[in-house]
Amino acid sequence: MFLLGRFVMFYLGKTKDTREVSLSKEDLLRHVVSIGSSGSGKTVSCKLLIEDAALNGIPSIIIDPQGDIGSFLSGFSPDDAEKLGFDPETALLFQEKAHINIYTPGSSVGRTFSLNPLGFELGENISKENAIQILDASAKSITSILKYTGGAEERVSKFIYLCLEYIYENSLEVGNFSDFENFLAQVPDEIASLGLLTDLERVHLKTQVKMRTIGFEKLLFESPSFSINDLLWAPSGKTAISIIYLNTLNTQREKDLCVNHISQKIYSWMLENPSSSLQMLFYIDEIAPFLPAGALKPISKESLLLLFRQARKFGVGCITATQSFGDMDYKALSQFNTWNIGKLATEQELKKVKKVVESRCSRDETKELLQTFPKLKGGEFILIHPKEIKPIRYRTRRLHSNHFVLGIDLIPQFKTYLYHVKTFNGSFLVYSKLKTVKNIKDRVRSQSKIKILGIKPLTA
Ligand SMILES: Nc1ncnc2c1ncn2[C@@H]1O[C@H](COP(=O)(O)OP(=O)(O)OP(=O)(O)O)[C@@H](O)[C@H]1O
Ligand SMILES: [Mg+2]
């Protein structure tokens, strides 16, 4: 009974007078943002929500720019649990229920993850309008990947859009940059004759596409592609937590492309899988560089904004954290209904938060809160809902797992490999610590008498 009471809500912690502070599924659907100075406990506060989501059967897709979310995988011994203040029973339950995977774009250290913008999946039931929107967003991503800026950018983007539309309408098999390069060698007359690009510009475009099929970019754009359904998949009784680890990428531009890729994929997935109740969480930590204020427009900005604006209607709850929320696009912040505010150390941070607090609290409350924020300790927060609920000060509960930065060198230790097994009766996915198809074949055969038609590794 106790567990039931606890899991239907997202349990965050307790007030000084030991009242439990929780969020409901509806709160999560209206998005939650955690802000505070470095070390105030923002990431932990968001991880608490992910843990309870997993215990509740709600999967999460997470973008991890700092590498400290992967530590969900680290596990613990029950003895340690008590010593460290975990609740051992729930912590074990979390380990049993959560199906955690780390995806590493541009690297095979975790599960290799492709940012292939041509791998869009448009289902049969998609409306014409949504298909146009998705193809248009893909064309913009490709233009950005190809590094077009300035005068040519718009013409190239429209040209690529027409190519994608043609590919989609004629069901052509153009699934990656190598295929696209071949397509560009013989652009259909109906597109070429529009004169958007000169012959020379088309040759240049084809060369730019070819460059994406060589070296590191080949790894980045042509390694195995995962659909959102793959990221949300877990064996029966378990719930997926899929972490996209950004530290394997070298530049902010690559990270922007990755965030853009995931946001676009979630957006097209949710159009096809609408739900009125919470069906998944999308959590992006330290969001400010991907959604900056003002005229700065990394490729991730537009797609994140669109996702935050639409997600609730489709049952997708969004969580984010930032220590520099003043540098973040204000329009995006206004999409977040629940504000979880931790210690704010500087005058500048206080000044910036004043605007939000004023819009949600009375004058006296605002004055008091602005005096309280600098006095909060690590792990202490004030939860600010929209106007009707009073701000609540509380201390976060312990995580059910360890919290530390999972270095790249530690990831292989936790890696599992994914195989697609085909049989006469259908097909299924197998997760395994074993690395070769032969080993996995032997193991599947020894465990069941089914006749295997084929096994294909889905991860390198
Ligand atoms: N298992 C745990 N449960 C709860 N709190 C923890 C746990 N492990 C560590 N902590 C506390 O969380 C603090 C760090 O919190 P966190 O990483 O969430 O801060 P942050 O605000 O995200 O910082 P940054 O700005 O550096 O990302 C540590 O000081 C530590 O005391
Ligand atoms: Mg953090």
For residue 244, report the distance from its CA to the centre of ligand 2, in Å. 15
> Which atom of ligand 1 lies closest to the CA of 45?
18
Whether 347 and 375 share a structural domain: yes
Residue 207 resides in a domain: yes
Ligand 1: nearest atom to the Cα of 401:
1
**Looking at the 3D structure of the chain, how many domains does it have?**
3
Assign residue 273 the CATH number of its domain.
3.40.50.300
DSSP letter assigned to residue 399: P
The answer on 341 and 274 residing in a single domain is yes
User: Does some domain include residue 402?
Assistant: no
Q: How confident is the model at residue 3 (pLDDT cuts 50, 70, 90)?
A: very low
Q: Give the per-residue pLDDT at 411.
A: 86
| Cα-to-centroid distance, 29 and ligand 2 (Å) | 22
Domain closes at, from 197, 220, 243? 220
Top pLDDT among 135 and 150 is at 135
> Among 86-95, 99-108, 354-363, 364-373, which stretch is predicted with the lowest mean pLDDT?
86-95
- Torsion angle of C-alpha atoms 286, 290, 292, 298, degrees rounded to 10: 170
* Residues ≥6 apart with Cβ < 8 Å to 188: 166
Are the C-beta atoms of residues 428 and 421 closer than 8 Å to each other? yes
CATH code for the domain of 443: 3.10.20
Same domain, 203 and 237: no
Nearest ligand to the CA atom of 403: 1
- Same-domain pairing of 132 and 251: no
Range(s) of the domain holding residue 436: 416-457
Question: Does residue 118 lie within any of the structural domains?
Answer: no
Whether 298 shows a pLDDT value over 80: the answer reads yes
Query: CA 340: distance to chain centroid?
Result: 20
Per the CB < 8 A criterion, the answer to whether 420 and 69 are in contact is no
Same domain, 328 and 426: no
Residue 7 pLDDT > 60, yes or no? no
Q: Would you say residue 339 lies in a domain?
A: yes
Taking the centre of ligand 2 as the mean of its atom positions, its distance from the CA of residue 389, in whole angstroms, is 27
Q: Is residue 309 situated within a structural domain?
A: yes
Domain identity same for 421 and 386 = no
Q: Ligand 1: which of 44, 246, 395 to mutate, judged by most atoms within 8 Å of the beta carbon?
A: 44
Residues 173 and 310 in one domain: no
Average pLDDT (48-65) is 96
Q: What does the alpha-carbon distance between residue 228 and residue 225 come to, in Å, rounded to a whole number?
A: 10
- Reply yes or no on whether the pLDDT at 448 is more than 70: no
**If you take atom 27 of ligand 1, which residue's CA is the nearest one?**
38
Q: Return the C-alpha torsion angle 265, 320, 67, 65, nearest 10.
A: 60
315: helix, strand or coil: coil
Determine the atom of ligand 1 nearest the C-alpha atom of 66.
27
Residues 120 and 268 sit within 8 Å (Cβ to Cβ): yes
* Average pLDDT across the chain, whole number: 88
Sequence length of the chain is 460
Indicate the residue among 353, 368, 396 that finishes a domain.
396
Contact residues for 403 (Cβ-Cβ < 8 A; gap 6+):
43, 44, 47, 68, 71
Q: Which of 86-100, 262-276, 390-404 has the lowest mean pLDDT?
A: 86-100
Phi, psi of 384 (to 5 degrees): -115, 115
Same domain, 235 and 340: yes
The CA 69 to ligand 2 mean position distance, Å, reads 9
40 CB within 6 A, ligand 1: yes
Q: Note the ligand closest to the C-alpha atom of 285.
A: 2
Q: Tokens in use for 385?
A: 């809902």
Q: Which residue CA neighbors atom 16 of ligand 1 most closely?
A: 41
Evaluate whether 110 touches 245 at the Cβ level (below 8 Å).
yes
Q: Do both 65 and 164 map to the same domain?
A: no
In the chain, DSSP finds a helix count (H) and a strand count (E) of 18, 15
The identity of residue 110, as a single letter, is: G
Spatial distance between the Cα atoms of 420 and 432, rounded to a whole number of angstroms: 11
Q: Is residue 119 part of a domain?
A: no
Chain segment 326-373, per-residue pLDDT in tens: 888 988 988 999 999 999 988 888 888 888 888 888 899 899 999 999
Q: What is the pLDDT of residues 169-204, one digit of tens each?
A: 999 999 999 999 999 999 999 999 999 999 999 999
- The answer on 381 and 322 residing in a single domain is yes
Q: Helix 199-211 vs helix 151-169: angle between axes, to the nearest 10 degrees?
A: 80
User: Final residue of a domain: which of 396, 431, 449?
Assistant: 396
Q: How far is the CA of 344 from the centre of ligand 2 (A)?
A: 14
Rounded Cα distance between 43 and 336, Å, is 16
Q: Does the beta carbon of 441 lie inside 6 Å of ligand 1? A: no
Is 354 a pocket residue for ligand 1 (Cβ < 6 Å)? no
Tell me the average pLDDT across 373-391. 88
The Cα 243–Cα 103 span in angstroms is 6
pTM of the model: 0.89
SS3 35: strand
**DSSP state letter for 374:** G
Q: What is the pLDDT of residues 218-239, one digit of tens each?
A: 989 987 778 899 999 998 899 9
Cα-to-centroid distance, 88 and ligand 2 (Å): 25
The residues near 433 (Cβ < 8 Å, ≥ 6 apart) are 416, 417
Where residue 385 falls (left for φ over 0; alpha for ψ -120 to 50; beta otherwise) is beta
Quote the tokens at residue 219. Answer: 């790894």
